[in-house]
Chain A
Amino acid sequence: MEMEAEPPKIVCFMCNWVFCGEELQVPYNFNVFRVPCIGRMDPVLILETFANGADGVMLVGCKPADCHFVDGNLHAERAVKMLKKLLNLAGLGHGRLKIILFSPLEDGNFDKYAKEFSEEIWVLGSSPLKNAELAPKITANLAAAKNAASAFRLRVLLGREEELTELENAYGERISEKDYDALLDDIVNAEFVRYKIHYLTRDKPLSVRQLAEMLGLKPSIVLRHITNMRRKGMISMYRVEGNTPLYKALEVH
């Protein structure tokens, strides 16, 4: 276990309606922010928090059905499920993000949970962003993750999760949890890779082979993503060097 002089910085987003006694007791390295509902936390904002140098992010919501806004807490749980996948892909690891649905009525004091999470982050050490060697790669990954999380495809999937798995879609179909999870996995992977490509080709045009090397993927897979991205207007062929086409990102949004 690598002990560093500086304690990990933890950002804690807490639902305004979670009542933890008059005085909230948390470890000194906790920064607590009250938000109207934990579901308010846009996945992009959480990734941004990591990009700003947080070592750990904790979300605290109300117990299911205690939510002041019916099911904002469950929406937050869904977002966390997706974010953990993105954080794994970005190389930060899913352990740095935690959501607890908490009620002082049933769970006792909050400080216990805060300490527990703080210890977990101590064990994980400080964010790889602070490591000079890893920082550029992680920054690129986080930027790609952020863009993926703010783009239509992931957001609409996330926004529809409840509709798809618990209610029914327009055709009266329902997707099982498991199928949805597989779908989410696929889409998170694809979106992350695409935005990573987009990020890498931002400044200089790159070929499929170069990209495949950088991403550690098969060239055929990279090409498939590029075809998709061209169709969506995310990327275009910049020029052809010999027989190799080079691609460059287009401005999106």
Chain B
Amino acid sequence: MEKPQLKIRKLPPCRAACPAHVNVQAYVSLIQRGKFREAVEIIRKDLPFPAICGRVCFSPCEDACARVNVDQSVAIRGLKRLVADIEREQGRVKGEPVPKKYSEKVAIIGAGPAGLTAAYELAKMGYPVTVFERMPEPGGMMRYGIPNFRLEKFVVANEIAYIQDIGVEIKTGVEFGKDITLEGLREEGYKAFFIAIGAQLGMKLNVPGEDLEGVISAVDFLRALATGKPLRVGERVAVIGGGNTAMDAARTAKKLGAKEVIVLYRRSREEMPAHPHEVELAEKDGVKFYFLVAPKRIIGENGKVKAIECIRMRLSEPDESGRRRPVPISFSEHQYEVDMVIPAIGQVVETSALPQELLNKDKGGMLIKYDPQTLETRIPGVFVGGDLATGPASIIEAVGAGKRAAISIHLYLRGRDPKEGLDETIEEVTWVKDWNMVNKKARRYDAPIEKPHLSLEEAMEYLMQLKKKARFEAFRCLGCGPCAECLAGVELCEGDKAVVDEVKCVGCNVCAVICPVGAIKKNDRGVAQVNEDLCKGCGLCAARCPENAIAMRKLSAEAIMAMISTALER
């Protein structure tokens, strides 16, 4: 794999929208055909966490899905989860160790989604990779930030075990900046470094009373729970913030026995960054929401939280993030009696562990000085990515960063400029422009399956039933992109394209009407022209061309005839 992995790629909307560019169209198409195992293999090519992302990904693919124009997007995430769960039915899937092709050792700091993905990609290329993790278990926020009811711990463990199978070494309990340093690792023979330690500190509220007993940031709260530390949950808990972490913390508190959990958010429901589904589930669990309130101070008694004083807000004109800015309303202070406050207003990076050269000294800029495209820093051989670089984001974005880092590190170690990998442009290609076609394809399946947001027990019970349902659901995919290279029909369709004999073509337009993906159009000379990006090699045009002017490159009429006559002679 001397060449950089990425080229100029034409992708369907779902794949283009995914930060890790998972080949959605291919695996959905394999699910249609009931090939669940092959579907997971396809996912694993781009993403080492099919089961994790099948549960907690915020699914940008579904938002981009062209099916939205017909009814609702295909339940891509649910399908992904399903195939990953089916695969696991037969026990944990073992990865094949990849032989080491290169001798340069790579060190990865932080075993979160970004670090593990980079390790996975580099190991697949044939590098010896070691991942260093501070916590006793690898997984980062996937393990310590997402509560068990959303993402079971053994799912994380399974997927990480797969990464270890292919040859990644993970060392836990090693703290960067304390137990190991860049210099030390360089002496040990590591040639390249990827720092992805994430954003682990809960952001401070900056209101009086924050040091009282009973105030614990959401990340600390969830981490304590995941590490099994004894945790005392108050009777009445206030969670501050409207993101997914706030939802997780609120639901966890409720599940741990809090009598009343209130979420205080300074804007209204529409502006909440949490996934609407998560909000719904939190409400179902009995969490109460108060909108347009911001904490002003936390009132204590004997060093413990007694109440939280809030002020009412109103929304004014939208700010640079497009959301309406909350403005406090004077003299609207009021108090809620609570004995625990969980701020969940964001996370920040623990800069103390980082080499000081990495930090950006000028205020207002990025926290860390790095090239956002190649992820290089000013220290040669050191790359950064994930939440550490971008601020708190999502698993799938971290996976995207990890993949990017792997390519940059590969180029760097081969003595090439990491910028070489940048010539790729992702172009969205879809035939969904002609609504006649969409309606044709869409006429059968109109109702999406209930998107499975189930707990494991429920899901397993549901699985058999779901297998059939999932295939129907997968059939809702319009297949609107170019050939997905799903390799489901390798010998037949791989790279087959129609070729027009321009001399024979009379410009009757039959092919243009018949082409399912609109890949054939008449050009200005009145001759049919094949757009090879869209052509999927079905051969419908060749079968109908009145002048026999279209031939298929691979499966020509002659080739089919030869097959038939040999078979019939037998």
Contacts and interface: CB of A to CB of B under 8 A. Distances in A.
Interface stretch (B149-157, B160-168, B232-240, B538-546): B538-546
Nearest to B474: A66
A66 B29 CA distance: 11
Interface in B467-504: 468, 471-472, 475, 479, 488-489, 492-493, 496
A33 B516 contact: no
Contact of B564 (A33, A37, A72, A151): A33
Interface of chain B, main secondary structure = helix
B441 A70 contact: yes
A152 B504 CA distance: 12
Nearest to A64: B444
B459 interface: no
Contacts of A31: 564, 567-568
A19 B31 CA distance: 10
Given A35-B492, A68-B479, A52 B565 contact: yes
B451 interface: no
B514 interface: yes
Contact residue range for chain A? 35 or more
A167 B546 CA distance: 20
A45 B557 contact: yes
B479 A42 contact: no
B536 A69 contact: yes
A51 to B, nearest CB: 10
Interface string A43-65: 11100110011100000000111
Contacts of A16: 488-489, 492-493
Contacts of B496: 36
Contact of A68 (B445, B538, B555): B538
Contact of A36 (B441, B493, B563): B493
A144 interface: no
Interface stretch (B32-40, B262-270, B340-348, B521-529): B32-40
Interface in B543-570: 543-548, 555, 557, 560-561, 563-565, 567-568
Contacts of A68: 29, 479, 538
A37 B493 CA distance: 10
A105 B472 contact: yes
A48 B510 CA distance: 23
A69 B538 contact: yes
A162 B508 CA distance: 15
A75 B514 contact: yes
A79 B472 CA distance: 27
Interface in A177-207: none
Given A52-B564, A54-B568, A36 B537 contact: yes
Contacts of B437: 70
A6 to B, nearest CB: 12
Contact of B510 (A9, A19, A42, A155): A155
Contacts of B492: 16, 34-36
B69 interface: no
A37 B539 contact: yes
B506 to A, nearest CB: 8
B284 interface: no
Nearest to A78: B544
Interface string A152-180: 11011011101100010000000000000
B544 A75 contact: yes
A69 B514 CA distance: 10
B129 interface: no
Contact residue range for chain B? 35 or more
B544 A65 contact: no
Interface of chain A, main secondary structure = mixed
Most interface-central of A42, A43, A104, A151 (chain B CB within 10 A): A42
A35 B560 contact: yes
B567 A44 contact: no
Nearest to B518: A70
Interface in B64-110: none
B436 interface: yes
Contacts of A112: none
B178 interface: no
A76 B444 CA distance: 19
Contacts of A48: 561, 564
A27 to B, nearest CB: 15
B546 A70 contact: no
Nearest to B469: A105
B285 to A, nearest CB: 36
B516 A44 contact: no
Contact of A160 (B489, B510, B563): B510
A72 B538 contact: yes
A42 B560 CA distance: 10
Contacts of A35: 492, 539, 555, 560
A160 B538 CA distance: 18
B443 interface: yes
Contacts of B456: none
A174 to B, nearest CB: 13
A8 to B, nearest CB: 12
17 contacts: A9-B568, A16-B492, A36-B489, A36-B496, A37-B538, A39-B539, A42-B544, A45-B543, A53-B568, A65-B444, A66-B32, A67-B441, A70-B440, A71-B440, A159-B513, A159-B545, A160-B513
Given A36-B538, A68-B538, A69-B540, 19 more contacts: A11-B568, A16-B489, A19-B33, A19-B35, A34-B492, A36-B489, A36-B492, A42-B544, A42-B557, A48-B564, A54-B564, A65-B441, A66-B475, A72-B540, A75-B540, A79-B543, A156-B510, A159-B510, A160-B510
CB-CB nearest 6 A-B residue pairs: A159-B510, A65-B444, A70-B516, A40-B539, A155-B546, A19-B33
Interface of B: 29, 32-35, 436-437, 440-445, 468, 471-472, 475, 479, 488-489, 492-493, 496, 508, 510-511, 513-514, 516-517, 536-540, 542-548, 555, 557, 560-561, 563-565, 567-568
Interface of A: 9, 11, 16-17, 19, 31, 33-37, 39-45, 48-49, 52-54, 63-72, 75, 79, 104-105, 150-153, 155-156, 158-160, 162-163, 167
